[in-house]
Structure 1
Amino acid sequence: MGNLTATRPLQPWTAPTATDPVAVTLRLPGSKSLTARALVLSALASGPSTLAGPLRARDTELMAAGLRAMGAHMSISDDDRWLVRPHRLVGPAHVDVGLAGTIMRFVPPVAGLADGRITFDGDPQARTRPLGPLIGALRSLGVRIDVDGSDSLPLTVHGAGRVSGGEVVIDASASSQLVSGLLLAAPRFDRGVVVRHVGPPVPSAPHLRMTVRMLRAAGAAVDDTVPDVWTVEPGPLTGRGWEIEPDLSGAVPFFAAALVTGGEVTVQGWPHSSAQPVERFRELLQRMGGEVTLSTEGLTVRGTGVVHGLEADLSDVSELTPALTALAMLADSPSRFTGVAHIRGHETDRIAALAREFAALGADLTESRDGLEIRPRPLRGGTFRTYADHRMAHAAAVAGLAVPGIELDDVACTSKTMPEFPALWSAMVTGKS
């Protein structure tokens, strides 16, 4: 079964150190979160859809390949515009999830609607990511699923061509994707779905709002007025054009570079009304010493020559934790981040990995159950392991702006969401394309 990371060679990389303030205007790839949701909704729609400005990266190409394997027609040869023509979903088929939480949580509910057997597996690290609540929820909705061993990959969905739907109770405290996966397929269930979350707060709430917003844009009737309850009525999804905005999580390292170097970074093509948590991001960077503005040119962050420490609950923007941790290492006062216990179940245990790798560079930091405490002091160069995690690579690159000699053991892991990252980053720092 799928195991791409285990076979590709590692690509060592020395993070470039900035000698001057960065000053750059960039056009970055589209949002992974928006692209993934648009692909699923388009595959389940009643007519064709287009994705303008989608993200072409390992996660989204594997998502398209998995939906294509089940019968959806995907034309993704054009980098700027993808075409999806829905078709009857059938098995047998195999879905390689790579290391993508979006695929392993969004596609099994779709597989329940297919007629036939759909198998799922991915990189070795993917088998440690939590799937139990989703598996239990789908089984309670009538989907037959076989799991090898614990409630994780590999698994097999025996699609019956339909899912009855109904009410389901789930603990989604490990990932908002567990709810989003059910909601995205729910309009095609016979009775729709009522999802009730019971447990600690669902992290990354903005991503759930994104799911609801996109479902409604595709014609679904969704009620999310009751906290921790989402109701999706059965009904057709409409094919449409999706405009994919730039990826905020992928842009954050570049914006962080403005703070570290006292420079200015603009990402072009940013909409004035974003599906991503831009206001929360703006607040965090302003508290750390940045100036954030949105204009017709794009989203701009200016550094003020100093980075401040920050105490913040990052539960709603947990993807930003690695880059903000790197910023905190270079701040003028301590930082404390909380609310991100769930990122221990991401591509790697990000809390433990950040603590371990920065400590190896001389950092003074303490790992807690749900976050990190950072007490800035001078760092030294050395090897920084990325654990096949693109966000770990981003954190190392940010620190490397101010600390010479940080050697990433593998920068190729950034291809998960931004294959262009090493080239874009080096060009920004050196001023040479």
Structure 2
Amino acid sequence: MGVLGYSGRDEELHLQIPGKEEPPVPLYGVVHVQDAPAGPWAAPVAEGPLSARLTLPGSKSLTNRELVLAALADGPSTIRRPLHSRDSALMIQGLRALGVGFDEVPGDGDFGPDLRVTPGELLGGTIDTGLAGTVMRFLPIVAALALGPSNVDGDPYARKRPMRTTVDALRGLGVEVEDDGRGTMPFTVHGTGGVRGGELAIDASASSQFVSGLLLAAPRFDEGLTLRHTGERLPSLPHIRMTIECLRARGVTVEEPEPGVWVVAPQPIRAVDVTIEPDLSNAGPFLGAALVAGGTVTIGGWPESTTQVGDDLLRILPMLGATVSREGDAVTVDGGAGVLGGSPVHAVDLDLSTGGELAPTIATLLAFADGPSAITGIGHLRGHETDRLAALASDIGRLGGEVVELDEGLEIRPRPLHGGAWEAYADHRMATSGALAGLVVPDVTVDDIATTAKTLPEFPELWARMLGREPAATRWETLAL
């Protein structure tokens, strides 16, 4: 991933993607600009037990679902406390290209303004997905509702991510898709202003986002949608539950007559104002830091009830040796002495099939465990921003650890770790995992900390604040939409 930058000449925040000849990607909206250092980022080492309290920006998964629903609703909606990051900016940019209106309105949070979303007549446009799975799996379905062709492409690695299910699903719904037989980006969706809908069977084994993308747009299909998953497994089921709850909050009825089958009748998507929860998966490295450095880390704004898989951290971290407590909307993880104080993480065997996005954080913590551990149910992570199984094995191995790739997971065999290069592979969760390892291993360098801008542009600043250090200079840039 490239680095966020600000051009005074054209007064536009942009993102230059290495390896792409196209002009820098404009990021419409408000984006938190971190003056990230050029070259490798030296992960700071904890000097002692932590005592930190933080608030995190909004959930990427919820923000991008609500952006799509607001764009397809029967009137304007306000999204309060949305995430402002590369993924959400690309979603806004793609919807805007299809004819949806966006306006900034004053918010009450610390992470930028709220968004007023005004549906418009959908017309074909150009969609840059970056590396965002939600953008590449959600927006082609929206583009099918538009009148005219929409060209869909993304970062170089995005062309390797599984997309055939989306392409085949659109064709199964009667939509023409031109992809030269690749089943990957780039491709063109030839929208005719509507989608027939009806019955559709797909294999969503590679990603639950294939299901969510179809369900989000299904109320706008002429015949609605009866969707059936045909694969043997379906990862990340909580994300489908999140999609269904977002739809129901807007008055959409979703029936589930049997496991793996969803029925949505044609119906309006009600315009409502929504408030986005903090991103609980992004809380993982911060809460995990208590186990590594020792001491406590508190995250404010934690919802009492949520569909986010990050909530599983409150169940998993005690298995690794932490104590978790809650007071109001504040969750505190106490790591005791921590690895830094001579208390290793507890070895465990975990099935993370419902919360695979937590795997990079958990695998890094288990590299400091008191025995071998295994994480299973995460084979689908090979098709995420990078092959996360290979990336974790490589990075931890480069520091002296041992990680064995399994068909559907990882076996982590702890060894004494030493400093070295940690590659982010343009993957935000790999970058934050390098920072986590570097808390107790001196001389760890992350090659591209700026890739955290995908879902958490404030990461370097928040990491420094957690450690009680003065963060680098940051600023907000507010741009006309």
Query: Is the structural similarity TM-score above 0.5?
Result: yes
Q: Could you say which residue in structure 1 is the equivalent of 2:379?
A: 341
**Aligned-residue offset at 1:369:** 1.6
Distance in 2 between the 1:192 and 1:244 partners? Answer: 27
Conserved in 1, the CA contact under 8 Å of 2:205 and 2:234? yes
The answer to which of 261-270 and 48-57 deviates more is 261-270
1:43 and 2:76 equivalent? no
For residues 294-333 of structure 1, the aligned pairs below 5 Å read: 294-305=326-337, 306=343, 307-333=345-371
**Aligned-residue offset at 1:11:** 4.1
1:432 and 2:460 equivalent? no
User: Which of 183, 186, 197 matches 2:215?
Assistant: 183
Conserved in 2, the CA contact under 8 Å of 1:10 and 1:409? no
Q: Given the superposition, is the C-alpha separation of residues 424 and 354 from structure 1 closer, same or farther in structure 2, using an over 3 Å criterion?
A: same
Q: Could you say which residue in structure 2 is the equivalent of 1:84?
A: 117
Distance in 1 between the 2:323 and 2:398 partners? Answer: 32
The answer to which of 271-280 and 209-218 deviates more is 271-280
Secondary structure of the 1:25 match is strand
**Aligned-residue offset at 1:297:** 4.2
Conserved in 2, the CA contact under 8 Å of 1:3 and 1:124? no
After superposition, the C-alpha distances for 1:82-130 in whole angstroms (9 at most, x for unaligned) are 1101111012x10110000000000111001001111111100000000
Conserved in 2, the CA contact under 8 Å of 1:6 and 1:124? yes
The answer to which of 94-103 and 327-336 deviates more is 327-336
Q: Could you say which residue in structure 2 is the equivalent of 1:62?
A: 90
Q: Could you say which residue in structure 2 is the equivalent of 1:147?
A: 179
For residues 26-425 of structure 1, the aligned pairs below 5 Å read: 26-76=54-104, 79-91=112-124, 93-305=125-337, 306=343, 307-425=345-463
Distance in 2 between the 1:225 and 1:261 partners? Answer: 48
Conserved in 2, the CA contact under 8 Å of 1:210 and 1:275? yes
Secondary structure of the 2:451 match is helix
After superposition, the C-alpha distances for 1:340-394 in whole angstroms (9 at most, x for unaligned) are 0000000110000110111111002211121111111210101111110001101
The answer to which of 98-107 and 75-84 deviates more is 75-84
**Aligned-residue offset at 1:5:** 4.5
- Unaligned 5+ segments in structure 2 are 1-14, 25-36, 107-111, 338-342, 472-481
Q: Given the superposition, is the C-alpha separation of residues 330 and 295 from structure 1 closer, same or farther in structure 2, using an over 3 Å criterion?
A: same
Q: Given the superposition, is the C-alpha separation of residues 272 and 182 from structure 1 closer, same or farther in structure 2, using an over 3 Å criterion?
A: same
Secondary structure of the 2:467 match is helix
Distance in 1 between the 2:325 and 2:71 partners? Answer: 36
1:4 and 2:37 equivalent? no
- Unaligned 5+ segments in structure 1 are none
Q: Given the superposition, is the C-alpha separation of residues 425 and 244 from structure 1 closer, same or farther in structure 2, using an over 3 Å criterion?
A: same
The answer to which of 74-83 and 331-340 deviates more is 74-83
Distance in 1 between the 2:187 and 2:16 partners? Answer: 15
**Normalized against structure 2, the TM-score is what?**
0.87
What amino acid sits opposite 2:224 in the alignment?
G
Distance in 1 between the 2:289 and 2:16 partners? Answer: 34
**Aligned-residue offset at 1:401:** 0.7
Conserved in 1, the CA contact under 8 Å of 2:322 and 2:334? yes
What amino acid sits opposite 1:371 in the alignment?
G
Conserved in 2, the CA contact under 8 Å of 1:344 and 1:350? yes
After superposition, the C-alpha distances for 1:136-177 in whole angstroms (9 at most, x for unaligned) are 111111111111451010011111100010111100010000
Conserved in 1, the CA contact under 8 Å of 2:85 and 2:456? yes
Distance in 2 between the 1:87 and 1:343 partners? Answer: 36
Secondary structure of the 2:152 match is strand
What amino acid sits opposite 2:400 in the alignment?
G
Distance in 1 between the 2:56 and 2:305 partners? Answer: 18
Conserved in 2, the CA contact under 8 Å of 1:248 and 1:276? yes
Conserved in 2, the CA contact under 8 Å of 1:361 and 1:382? yes
Structure number with higher helix proportion: 1
The answer to which of 309-318 and 265-274 deviates more is 265-274
Q: Given the superposition, is the C-alpha separation of residues 140 and 152 from structure 1 closer, same or farther in structure 2, using an over 3 Å criterion?
A: same
Conserved in 1, the CA contact under 8 Å of 2:281 and 2:309? no
Secondary structure of the 1:39 match is helix
Tell me the percent identity: 51
Aligned residue pairs, count: 431
What amino acid sits opposite 1:87 in the alignment?
G
- Please report the RMSD computed on the Cα atoms of aligned residues, expressed in angstroms: 1.6
Conserved in 1, the CA contact under 8 Å of 2:303 and 2:329? no
